[in-house]
Amino acid sequence: MALRYLALGDSYTIGEAVAVEGRWPHQLAAALRGTGIALDDPHTIATTGWTTDELDAGIDRDGPQGPFDFVSLLIGVNNQYRGRPLGEYDGQFQALLERAIGFAGGRADRVLVLSFPDWGVTPFGAGSGRDLARIAAETDAFNAAAAATSARHGVAFVDITGISRDHGHDPAMIASDGLHPSAAMYALWARRAEPVARGLLAG
């Protein structure tokens, strides 16, 4: 029987401006199937622009029925973009992570969190008129909070922010909107996440 996968997030999980098969969770599931792990394509609860509280409300509306064998969570960039406080994000992220663990049947070792990328390095960021150094610093602070919360809950955390900074100026790595990753960028995220996810699903 195929393993069930729940993917929670925002534009980076729904894959704004890329085809469904180009989204990182779908690429991750395909990569895992290639290693012999029968993971279904994800049931995705994600919408472009969502903050932590909006994802929480979206989960309520969707009403996913667990348990799932694997759950991923990537959320926070829109909190940063809108200037929402780090402390608010930290508390709401913890609540979402606890929900994710619940959807995994209480198994924190079946949950994977990804950091969010630095949108300031993209063409959209460069033209936004925003303080790019501040975007970078806040991105690091929000991701550090998510990493610390994940560690306290025994949840795997995969950092893809450096990938976004290394490749954010490469047109092949950015979607046509100048902001979101292309399928090629998502492939790099999936490649980084795959060994971690494989280890979780082997347990």
Across all residues in the chain, what is the average pLDDT?
Answer: 97
Q: Which residue has the tokens 């960039």?
A: 77
Mean pLDDT of the 142-147 span:
98
Look at residue 169 in the predicted model and tell me its pLDDT: 87
Rounded distance, CA 181 to CA 30, Å?
A: 19
Confidence of residue 133 (pLDDT cuts 50, 70, 90): very high
pTM beyond 0.95, yes or no: yes
Encode pLDDT of 8-48 as tens digits.
Answer: 999 999 999 999 999 999 999 999 999 999 999 999 999 99
Beta strands in the chain (DSSP E): 5-9, 43-46, 70-74, 111-114, 156-158
Look at residue 182 in the predicted model and tell me its pLDDT: 98
Architecture of the structural domain at 5-202: 3-Layer(aba) Sandwich (3.40)
Name the residue ranges covered by the structural domains of the chain: 5-202
CA distances 8 to 54, 98, 131, 203, Å, are 11, 13, 29, 22
**3-class SS letters over 78-126:** HHHHCCCCHHHHHHHHHHHHHHHHHHCCCCHHHEEEECCCCHHHCHHHH
End-to-end CA distance of the chain: 17
Confidence of residue 1 (pLDDT cuts 50, 70, 90): confident
Encode pLDDT of 147-174 as tens digits.
Answer: 999 999 999 999 999 999 999 889 999 9
